[in-house]
Structures are given as structure tokens and as C-alpha cells.
Structure 1
Amino acid sequence: MQGRSKTRIYVPEMVVLDILSKLPVKSLTRFRCVCKLWCSSFQTPHFITNHQQNNLKNNNLNVLLKRCQFHTQVTYYFSQLSIEKGQNFSVKHNVHLPFFEHCRSGPAVSGPCNGLVCLKEDDKVALWNPSTREFKILPQSPVHRPPLADFTSFDCLGFGFDSQTDDYKVVRFVTNYFEHKEDVSRIPDWNHQVELYSLKSDSWKEISAPDVYPYDGPPEFNIYINGFYYWQASGSFDYLFLSFDMVNEKFSTIPLPEFGRFFVGQVLEFKGLLGVIVYPLLGTDKSFDLWVMNGSWTKQFSIESVSGVKRPLRFWKNGELFLETPDHELVLFDPSKRELKHLGIHANLAIYIIAYIENLIPINGRSEHEEHIVRRPVEDAST
């Protein structure tokens, strides 16, 4: 009996790479050892862009939480969430970053921008790609401080992408203080500097400071959206947004929407636009108004009377809203059904949520393993 001949089907390499660009980073990391062509192809700008665009198209979001724990001292860390069918969330890994281990309030988070995160504490700044697990400690700035300054504080920063030069940039605000040694009761004088870091050149430079200064406050007061970084700030007589154009490297200001004295605003992105959710500062029976900037501020919608919550965090995939409860539990609210889903995930202090798209973008750093970053698998969803 004559055996059947085996037929080989040839698949063009371009088709193979297109299929591969739809896979998660974890799979691509394993497939690098299949052949040299695949390994080199995964590092090309074309493949990296295709992979990122596929994740954006399919809205493949991943979630990190900034949390803390109490033992002999307060330790800040990040939790990687696993997202299962039916919007079931659980903690997959707890990630400890030794570079920021002894921070007073944990590293301040800027971003994400294209799936990359910028972290800072005082003069320490680092970039992190949670998808590829690459970590880069930025060099110290060579920008000269005034020689007579008594001390310097490194204030808030912003992190974004320059699409014209294909570069990632960090803008940082610095305050130099001058004490009155002859009269220590007087408030010190100060001046401001602004410096800009370029990932492409791996260097800092000084740029002109704006007339207004942003709040060095909680991360909910700032955000990166489509080439611009926004901070809440205050001018001479009013409150406003300070924005920075990553391409032109210029500052500008935008007024905030009008809201009353006992209301606060959570800054977030809504369909690619700058948005603010305004809600009452006091009480746990909250209503939320969403305002969006598209040439002018427009109220998009209101959510009335959600009980047992403290503040909004961000929107999720289908218009749901992540909220934080007074006891720091992460919950998910569906405005269309008016359903509040308790996720069983808590923090000892306020929760900060980072939702990012998986990516292969290199940051010229070192692996998490080389930086002694520890990822601990977690079985208990509330851990």
C-alpha cells in the first residue's frame, strides 16, 4: 500500500508576522527562541507598531494598582491584576521595586504613555515597561542650580511621547529655596526651573518655566493624552490646567470647568479627550458629572446617587467606572445598569490604578531581574 504524500503549505513570512503581532508579549517572549528571524523581527519598529495598534484596536487593557502594606514600616508596591471573563479581577503578581523601597509615600506615577510608566520620588526618576519587564533608571540631571540656593525640591513631572521625533520625554519642575538666615521666621524666597529629559538622547536640558506652577499633589490631578501632558495648577486669581506639548515643548493653560467650593475633580481621559469628573468632597452618597474639553468644556453626562463610594478612579472598557470605597476597596460601577460590583481588592491607603496597553517598546534599560525587582505570584485575590 502506497503511503500518502505529505503536502507542505507555505505561508508568506509577512502573513506569519502579522499573525504573531496579535499575540500577547508573554507569548512573543517565548517565541524569540524559535528562530533568529522571529527574534530580530520582534524588535523592528514596524512589528512593534503593528503589535501596539492591534492591542489598541482590541482595547486589550492591563491593570496595575499602586498599593501599600504595613509591617515594621510602610512599603509601597504594585499589583498586577488578572482579568478573566465576566470582568472578574484578581491579583496575579505583587511587584516590589527596590529602587523606590524607602520612599515616604511611594513613587509618584506619571503616565501610562503607550504602555510605559514613569515613576519618581524626589530626584529619583525611572521608566518602566511592565509588559516587557524592562526598567530604566534615568541619569541625574546636569542642569545647574543657583549657587546661593539653600535647598532644592524636585516637584511634579510629566511623561509623554513626541510623535514627530519618535521620542519619549519627561518634563520635571524644580524649586530652589533661599532662606533668610538673618530672620528664620520669614518664609524662604524661591525660584523655579523646568528640565526636560529625552529618552532618545538619554539626557536632560533646561527649558523655560511657565508663569503658573502645577500642583505636586496626587496623581489624579494630572494625565497624559495624545501628545500633551496636563496638570491642575493655579494662576493669580483662578484654577486651571497647565499643559505641555511634547512636540513643540511649549506650555499653555486651559481654564477648569466651574464647580463649587465643596466639589473636587478627577482628571481622566474620555474617548481621547481631556475629561474631569466633578463630585462632592464630603459624604459617601456620591453624584458624578463628567466634563470634557473639546474646544470648550461640555458636560457629557451625570451619574446620580451612588452609595458607599469615596471617589472615581478611571473609566473601563465599556463605559464602566472604577471607584474607590471609604475603606479603600476597588469597585466597578456600570452606569447603564446602575450596578456596583465589589472586586474584593483592597489597599491600606488610597488606591491608584494604572490601565495600560501591552507593548514591546524598548526603553534601553535593564531587565527587572537585573534591577532586583521581585514579582510574587498571588493566590488570594484580596492580597
Structure 2
Amino acid sequence: MASLSSDIIPEILRRLGVKDLLRFRCVSKPWCSLIDGPDFIKLHLSHSLNTSTHFSLVLRTYYLFSVEFDSLKAAQKLNHPLLDDGVSTEILGSCNGLLALYNGEEEIALWNPSTRKSQMLPVTEIEFPPYFCFAQFIVYGLGHDPISDDYKLVRMIQFYGKDDDSFDSEVKVYSLRTNSWRRIKDFPFYIKYKRVYGVLANNALHWVVSKRPESDTRSFVVAFDLGTEEYRVVELPDCLEEGIHMNLKSMGGSLCLIENYWGVNVVNIWVMKEYGVKESWTKLVSVKRSKLTSRFGFVLPLAISKNGDRVLLDIDNNRFVWYDLRSKKVKKVRIEGVPRAFEAEMLVESLVPLNSNGAMINKKDHGKEKQKKNTERSIFFPLKCSNLIAHFHAVMYSHFSLYDAI
């Protein structure tokens, strides 16, 4: 190891998965400081995002499951901080390896599945506006603010109005840096679909909206900028027809628009290749019923293969297929242990911390310090320190291309 310079070590380590990095923290104090440092955490995350490595599918049903994206072979149940056999868990958003989880009982947690760290969020009350006594629905969105280098969870509440064409709203933003909620200006649009969290792309959250619930129901897309905390309209392709069912998804960091023609079972998927540029909308996929051999309600894009020639599609939240962009053919994906119905989300491994501000880690761990220590030992001390260097070399040889890239 003495032959490796201090400049080379970060270049090698950034290519590894989080599991190996947590082990290598024990090599030495300098390595521990390096891996825990904010600069390396950003370096590792940036490399994973740019090279599409260390990704997994997270499937939500009554429980949460994880599937390695590179293999797509088997689903593994996740033991998350809000796990309760009597309560279903919802995913409110994902960003840079973090998940926002909700258990339906006012408990919200941010969780990093790779490091197994979690943080409970403080409860914030709903501030009902005058004459609006009932909340119609609540939507969330999780993202990163590049200006303050902070992670934010946005909560939007829409209230029933005095009549069918009126509504009001309340918007609050949780800051991981301050571990607190604050209210911002109301959302002036009507969110079209319930139980849909904000789609994250280009450091902004996106929703399909209309101006009014009844009198003006034309759909369009509005973004909430996580840095400026301003709302803006996103221009859409001119060729979209009126009355389509419009949906949004993020794929590879780019905003995707899905136009669904239910009557003829046709779905077109557009991708905004240059964010904010209307002319950059490109039709990526057009799927017909005959291609899938059976009826479907909706299709969502999840990821592009590493060589860029296939798109992984979620069909009706109950099956996956690869769509070949060249041949236009569809191939079914069979994953062992996948539940019959699910919601799917792509997640990247990361070292993004949650407890740097000293806030409480998962409150259900109170009184379980022994179990916590055993868990940490299983993460950080799976090998004797005397064998860690040998393990490092073994990992390097299993990733032999690392040396070629340096």
C-alpha cells in the first residue's frame, strides 16, 4: 500500500460500493477520515451517478424490497426503521441514496439503506386556512438544494374549497441541516393526482397540475425549485393532444413525460434531454398493446441500460420488461421474490450522512443500544483489521478495470 500515493487512493475508493467502503474505514484513521469526509462522499456519489453504477430497484408493497439493478435476479426484504408488521410503509421520495418513509401514523423518517442510518423527522401541524376545514390530500417530494447543500422534504396540502371549483393549499419544507419545518408561500395550482410524490429532476420537484379543479382542467407541469423555492411552469412538447392522461417520471436524472392513450392502449414516453429547453423534448419510447401482448393501464420508465440501447419499463406496477430502442422489441424480466403488486423506484448507493447535525437517530432504537452496537460491528468489523488490506487487494482485482482507469 505504501506504493499508492494519497492522490490515487480516492480515485480507487470512489469506484467501490458502500459496503466495501464501510469496511475499509478500519484500515487506518486517515482512510476513515477520507471516507467520512464530505468531499469524498460527493466524489463517490458523483462517480456512481455518472457511470450508472451501484444502483438498485426499491419495490414498495406492504414491505420494502431491494433488487440489484446490474443482475435483476432476486428481491431482498429491507429492514427499514419504520418496519412494523401491522403498518404499511410508503415512500415519499428518494434522492442521492436517501429515502423518505412514512408509516401513516405521523411518523416520517429519512433513511439511507446503504449505511443503515436513519433520522426521525419532527412532527409539524397542519395550518388550516379560514373556511377550509378538510384536507383533500397531501403530497410530498424529497430533493437536494445545491445552493445550501441541504436535503429538503416538501409537504404540499390541498384543501377542499367552498365549491367544486375552489381550493387552498399549505406548503412546508423540512430542512435536514436544521432538522426543522418552515412554511413557504402557497402552491397556486391544483394538483391533478393524489398520492403522487414530486418527481425529482435537475434539483426541482415536478407535479402534473391544472389551474382549477373544474372550470380549467387542462393539464400542464409545474416545478418547485429546491434552491430558490420558487414555482415555475415547464414547457411541454407542442404535439401533445388534449385529454391525454399525463404522468411524470425521472430517469437517469432527466425529466420524463408519459402520455397515455387508454382507449387504444398506446403510451408515448418523452425525455427532456436539456432541462428547461422545450425543443429538447425527444420521444424515446412508443409502446403499443401488441408489443406487450396484453392490456395495460400505464407504463413508467425506470432506467436505461448501461450501453444505452434498452429501457427498463414498469407495467402496471406488477411486471418489468426491457424495451429495445433499436429493434422496438420487448423482453420480459423475471425477478425472484418480487411481490405481485408494487411501486418501483431507482436508488443509488451513497454515503450521504443523516446524523451530522446531531439529530435523533431512529427513535425505535431507544433502549436497544446493545443491538445497535452489534449491528454496527457487523457493518464495520466483518473482517479482522489485519486482513483488511488483503481484502482491499482482492476487491481491487475483482474490479481490475479500476487500475486501467487511473
Amino acid at match of 1:116: L
- Other-structure match for 1:381: none
Name the SS for the 1:140 alignment partner.
coil
- Other-structure match for 1:47: 40
Q: Is the 8 A contact 2:60 2:344 kept in 1?
A: no
- Other-structure match for 1:37: 30
Mapped pair 1:254 → 2:229: no
Q: Is the 8 A contact 1:313 1:353 kept in 2?
A: no
Change (3 A) 1:47 1:266: same
Q: Give, in whole Å, the separation in 1 of the partners of 2:10 and 2:241.
A: 54
- Other-structure match for 1:72: none
Change (3 A) 1:154 1:39: farther
Query: Which runs of 5 or more structure 1 residues have no equivalent in the other structure?
Result: 1-7, 69-75, 180-185, 376-383
Q: Is the 8 A contact 1:308 1:326 kept in 2?
A: no
Map residues 166-185 of structure 1 onto 2, 5 A cutoff: 166-175=149-158
Q: Is the 8 A contact 1:268 1:275 kept in 2?
A: yes
Q: Is the 8 A contact 1:143 1:195 kept in 2?
A: no
- Other-structure match for 1:348: 340
Q: Is the 8 A contact 2:143 2:205 kept in 1?
A: yes
Provide TM-score, normalisation by structure 2: 0.73
Q: Give, in whole Å, the separation in 2 of the partners of 1:334 and 1:207.
A: 44
Choose which of 79, 82, 92 in structure 1 pairs with 2:65: 79
- Other-structure match for 2:5: 12
Name the SS for the 2:246 alignment partner.
strand
Choose which of 334, 357, 369 in structure 1 pairs with 2:324: 334
Name the SS for the 1:248 alignment partner.
coil
Change (3 A) 1:338 1:255: closer
Name the SS for the 1:38 alignment partner.
helix
Q: Give, in whole Å, the separation in 1 of the partners of 2:175 and 2:283.
A: 36
Amino acid at match of 1:276: L
Map residues 1-383 of structure 1 onto 2, 5 A cutoff: 9-68=2-61, 76-84=62-70, 88-97=71-80, 99=82, 101=84, 106-110=89-93, 112-120=94-102, 122=104, 123-141=106-124, 144-145=127-128, 150=133, 152=135, 155-175=138-158, 191-219=168-196, 222-236=198-212, 237=216, 238-254=218-234, 256-257=236-237, 259-260=240-241, 263-269=244-250, 272-282=253-263, 286-290=266-270, 292=272, 294-296=276-278, 298-305=281-288, 306-308=291-293, 310=296, 311-317=299-305, 318-325=308-315, 328-345=318-335, 346-349=338-341, 351-364=342-355, 366=361, 370=365
Name the SS for the 1:91 alignment partner.
coil
Q: Is the 8 A contact 1:118 1:125 kept in 2?
A: yes
Q: Give, in whole Å, the separation in 2 of the partners of 1:300 and 1:327.
A: 22
What's the CA shift for 1:147? 8.7
Q: Is the 8 A contact 1:262 1:282 kept in 2?
A: no
Provide TM-score, normalisation by structure 1: 0.77
Greater helix share, 1 or 2? 2
- Other-structure match for 2:392: none
Query: Which runs of 5 or more structure 2 residues have no equivalent in the other structure?
Result: 376-406
Amino acid at match of 2:46: Q
Name the SS for the 2:353 alignment partner.
coil
Cα deviations by residue, 1:290-314 (Å, 9 ceiling, x for unpaired) = 2536422634345353223632332
Q: Give, in whole Å, the separation in 2 of the partners of 1:120 and 1:156.
A: 12
Amino acid at match of 1:34: V
What's the CA shift for 1:332? 1.8
Q: CA RMSD in A?
A: 3.5
Fraction of identical pairs, as percent: 24
Name the SS for the 2:108 alignment partner.
strand
Name the SS for the 2:82 alignment partner.
helix
Q: Give, in whole Å, the separation in 2 of the partners of 1:23 and 1:177.
A: 50
Q: Give, in whole Å, the separation in 2 of the partners of 1:368 and 1:308.
A: 48
Amino acid at match of 2:175: S
Change (3 A) 1:104 1:156: farther
Q: Give, in whole Å, the separation in 2 of the partners of 1:103 and 1:280.
A: 38
Q: Give, in whole Å, the separation in 2 of the partners of 1:83 and 1:249.
A: 33
